[in-house]
Amino acid sequence: MATKVNSTLGTLSRRSFIGATALGAAAVMAGGLEAVSPEKALASEGDGDETYVYTSCPMCNQSVFCGLKGTVQDGKLVRVEGNEQHSKPKPCLKGLTSLQYLYDPNRLLYPLKRTNPAKGIGEDPQWERIGWDEALETIAAEFNKAKETYGAPSVTFHSGDPKEHLPLFQRVAALFGTPNVSWGGAQCAFALAMSGILCYGATVTTMPSPETKVHLQWGSNIAWSLYPQPTAYKGMLDAKKAGCKYIVIDTRMTPTAVQLADLYLQPRPGSDGALALAMANVIIEEDLYDHEFVENWTEGFDEYKEYVAEFTPEKAEEITWVPADQIREAARMWAEAGQGTMWVSPHSTTHHSNGVQSTRAITLLLALMGYWDREGCRKLTPGVTGTADAEFRLTDLSGPLLDQRAGVDRWPVWSAMSTYYQNNGLLEYINDGIIHAGVFLGTNLMNFPQTQLVQEAVSTLDFAVAVDMHLNPWTHDYMDMVLPAAVCWERVAPFQSQPNGIIGSQAAMQPAGEAREDWQFLLDLGCALGFEEECFHGDLKAAMQAYLDAGGSGATVDDIQNALPGVYELPMAGEWSPKQYEKNGFSTPSGKAEFKSGLLEQLGFEGLPVYEEPHISPVSTPELLEQYPLILTTGNRVPWYVHSKYRHTPWLNQFMPEPIVNMSHEDAEARGLEEGDTVRIYNQFGEVRFKVAITNMMHPGNVEILHGWEQANSCLLIDRVFDPISGFPTFKDALCEIEKA
C-alpha cells in the first residue's frame, strides 16, 4: 500500500522516507539535510572561524548525559567530541553519532496533520503539512473539548523514556488539570527504585568505591549498556585493580562477566528471587550475618529467617540451574568481605511477574550484612543544594488530583510511591473510556506488550498528537497530528545536574526546518491552553529562570551559560558522616530496614520477599513448554541501539543491520540451524522473523532478541500480564520455538 505524505513540495510515499537515507523524497521531507560522512564529521580544526558549543548527550534516552563539545564552522556543526570539564567527559559511539543524527535526512521537520479520518491498523494517515499556529490551536481546542465532555483527567500527557521535558510536561498537565502523566520509569528503573525504597526508604544501587571489598553485579551488562558508562565502568575496573572481588549474576556470559567476575553465576531467567533467598539461607545458616545491624536496625528478621530456611542451596539449584556449591561460594564471598556494594539492572530482574519481590530479595542481602551507609558500602551522601524542582513541576497542585489517576486501584503500590500514573494500562484506560485524548511526547507504541491492541486503542482516541524527531509508522500511524522535535544540538533547555552543581547546554544552530525544542513546544501549548502567565508567555529563558528559582540556588541562566564548558558549582548540602540511620532511622513505616515491608502489607501484598515462579516459565506452564521449549528473553541492550532508535543511522546501523536472535550451539544444532539462517520465532501469541547468531553467551534453553525492530517487534510475543506491585510489563517472561523460515 502506498502511503501518501503531502508536503509543500509534493506528495511523498511514507515508506520512501522511512527507508534508506539517500532517497530524494527523504531529502525533501528533511528540507535538504544531508547525511554526514565520517570525513565531514571530523573536519579540520583550528582555521580560526570555529566556535565551540557544549551540551549533554541525550542519545541513551537521556539517562547517562555524557559531556559533549561541538565545533561549529560556518553555522554548521562539524565535529563532536567529549567535554573534558564534564563529570562524564568521554562519550561513547552514540554521542559522536549525535552529529549524524542531527543531519539525518529522515528527520521530521514540519508539523503534519492526518487527512484520512479513518484510523486503525492498515489505514494510511495521508499526512498533510500544516503550520504551528494551526497545530497549537487544534490541540488546545481538542483538549478543551475532552475536558468539557469528560473532565481534564481524560487527557493523558504521555511520555516514553526521554526525560528532559518532564518538569515542564508535569507543569502544563497540572495547569490543565490532568494527573494522568506518564514517564519512562513505568517500564524502566522505577521498579528497581521501588524495591530499594520499600526495604530502606532509599535506592540501593551503587558503584564500588576504592574501599569496597566485594561488589555484586546483578543482571546488568554495564560494559555494553553504557549505563552510566564509560566513566563509571572505568571506576569498576579501577576498583578491581584495588582488590574488589566481583560476583556477576547474569543469564548470559556477558563482556561484563568476562572482564570483572571473580565468580560468575548463570541463573535461569526470572529465578533471581530464589537465588538471592538461597544466598541468604547460607549466610544465616553459617551465622555470617551482621547481628548488630540486624537486631537493632531491621524489621521482620525472624519471619524472614523462617521463610529463607526453605531455600537451601540444593533446592535453589533445582529452581535456578545454579549449582549449590556456587551459591554457597557466592554467599560466603559476599558475607565475609565486610564492605560490599551492589548494582542491579534497571530492567532485567524487574521485567518478570515476580519482579519487585525478586529484586527486594536481592537488595535485602545488604541488610543482612549491614552494608549500609558506611565506607565501601552504599553511602547516603548529601547532594548539592539548590536543585529541587517540585515547585516548578506543580506536583503539589496536582496532589489533590492524584487519587483520580487511572490505574490507582489496579496498581496501588506504584500509585502510592509515584506521582506519575502507571501508563502500562493505557490499553484498558482507553477501552474503559477513561482516556479520550492525549499528547504522546517521545513515545514508542512498540513498547507495549501486544502492541497491535494498543495501536488499535490509540486510534480510537478522539484526538492524539505525537512529538518526535522522526515519523515512525508503528506509533504515528495512529495519531491525528505529529510535531517535529529538535535534537540536542538545537536546544538549550533544560540544565543537567552534576555531582558538584549544574551544567548548561548551548545550541549550535536554530532547529532544522520548523522543529521546536520540547520546552518551547510545551510553553506554546500551555499558552494555547490559556495559561500564558504560568507559561511565561512562551519565553524559554524566563521558564528556565523559574526552574532555577524553584531550586533555590540563586543562579541565573546567564551564570550557568557563562560557566560553560565548566559546571556552575553549588554548595554541598553537608558532609557525609557514616550511619545516619542511627540518628534519623530509615524512611520506612517501621523506621528500620524492612525484611517485611510495612507498606506492602498495608496495601494487601505479601510483606516478605517471597519467591513465585514467573507467570510463564518451564515450571509454571509445563504444558506450554511442550510446544515452546525455549525461554525467550527480550530487550538485552546492545552498544549501538537504544530501543527503537538509530535503526536508520548509518554509523550505528552498520553494526547490526538486521534483527538477530542469539542462541547457543546446542539449541541451534538441535534445530538444524546455521549462522545467518532466517527463522520464525513463535509462541501462543504470534510470530517474528530474525536471523540466527550462534554464541557462547547464551545458556542452552534460553534465546534472546532485541526489542524495537519495526519489522520484528518482540512485544508481539509478550503477554499482557504485569508485575502486580510495580505494574511493569513481563518483557522477559516468555517461551517460544524457533524453526527455519
Three-class SS string for 644-713? CECCCCHHHHCCCCCCEEEECHHHHHHCCCCCCCEEEEECCCCEEEEEEEECCCECCCEEEECCCECCEC
Helices (DSSP H) in 261-354: which residue ranges?
Answer: 272-285, 291-297, 301-308, 313-320, 324-336
Question: Which x/- pattern over 269-308 shows residues binding ligand MGD (rule: CB under 6 A)?
Answer: xx-x------------------------------------
Residue of 644, 649, 664, 730 that binds ligand MGD (CB under 6 A) = 644
Binding part of the chain for Mo ion, among 180-188, 336-344, 436-444, 524-532 by CB under 5 A, reads 180-188
**Binding flag, residue 659, ligand MGD (CB under 6 A):** no
Query: What is the distance between the terminal CA atoms of the chain, rounded to a whole angstrom?
Result: 24
Q: How many residues does the chain have?
A: 741
Is residue 734 part of the contact set for ligand MGD (CB under 6 A)?
no
Give the residue among 103, 647, 174, 181 at the shortest CA–CA distance from 393: 174
Residue 631 interacts with Mo ion (CB under 5 A): yes or no:
no
Nearest distance from residue 104's CB to ligand MGD, in Å?
Answer: 10
| Contact assessment for residue 61 and residue 643, using Cβ atoms and an 8 Å cutoff | yes
Select the residue interacting with Mo ion from 188, 278, 454, 698 (CB under 5 A).
188
Packed helices 518-528 and 540-551: angle between N→C axes, nearest 10 degrees: 100
If 0-12 CB within 10 Å is exposed, 13-18 middle and 19+ buried, where does residue 672 land?
exposed
Which of 708, 709, 712, 734 touches ligand MGD by CB under 6 A?
708
Question: Which of these, 259, 276, 255, lies nearest to 344 by C-alpha position?
Answer: 276
Q: How far apart are CA 197 and CA 200, in angstroms?
A: 5
Confirm if 639 and 93 have CB atoms less than 8 A apart. yes
Our CB check for ligand MGD shows the closer of 83 and 254 to be 254
Using the minimum distance from each CB to ligand MGD, give the nearer residue, 493 or 599: 493
Q: Are 362 and 342 in contact (CB under 8 A)?
A: yes
As measured in angstroms, the least distance from the Cβ of 217 to ligand MGD is 9
Query: Does residue 706 belong to the site contacting Mo ion (CB under 5 A)?
Result: no
Q: Name the binder of 219 from Mo ion, ligand MGD, none, CB < 5-8 A by kind.
A: ligand MGD
Does 550 contact Mo ion by CB under 5 A?
no
Binding mask 170-199 for ligand MGD (x = CB under 6 A): --------------x--xx-----------
- The answer to whether 340 contacts ligand MGD (rule: CB under 6 A) is no
According to CB under 6 A, which residues from 51 to 70 bind ligand MGD?
58, 60-61, 63
Which residues inside 234-253 make contact with ligand MGD, applying CB under 6 A? 249-252
The residue type at 646: Y
Residue nearest to ligand MGD according to CB distances in the complex: 635
Binding of ligand MGD by 452 (CB under 6 A) = no
CA–CA distances in Å: residue 629 to residues 206, 277, 459, 626, 683: 37, 27, 36, 6, 10
Find the DSSP H helices in 165-209: 166-176, 190-200
**Residue 733 Cβ vs ligand MGD, minimum distance, rounded to whole Å:** 9
* 101 in Cβ contact with 487 (< 8 Å): yes
Q: Please report how close the Cβ of residue 294 comes to ligand MGD at its closest, in angstroms.
A: 25
686: left (phi over 0), alpha (psi -120 to 50) or beta: left
Enumerate binding residues for ligand MGD (CB under 6 A).
58, 60-61, 63, 160-162, 164, 184, 187-188, 218-222, 224-227, 249-252, 254, 267, 269-270, 272, 345-349, 351, 441-444, 447, 467-470, 472, 485, 518, 633-637, 639, 641-645, 707-708, 714-715, 731-732
Enumerate binding residues for Mo ion (CB under 5 A).
188
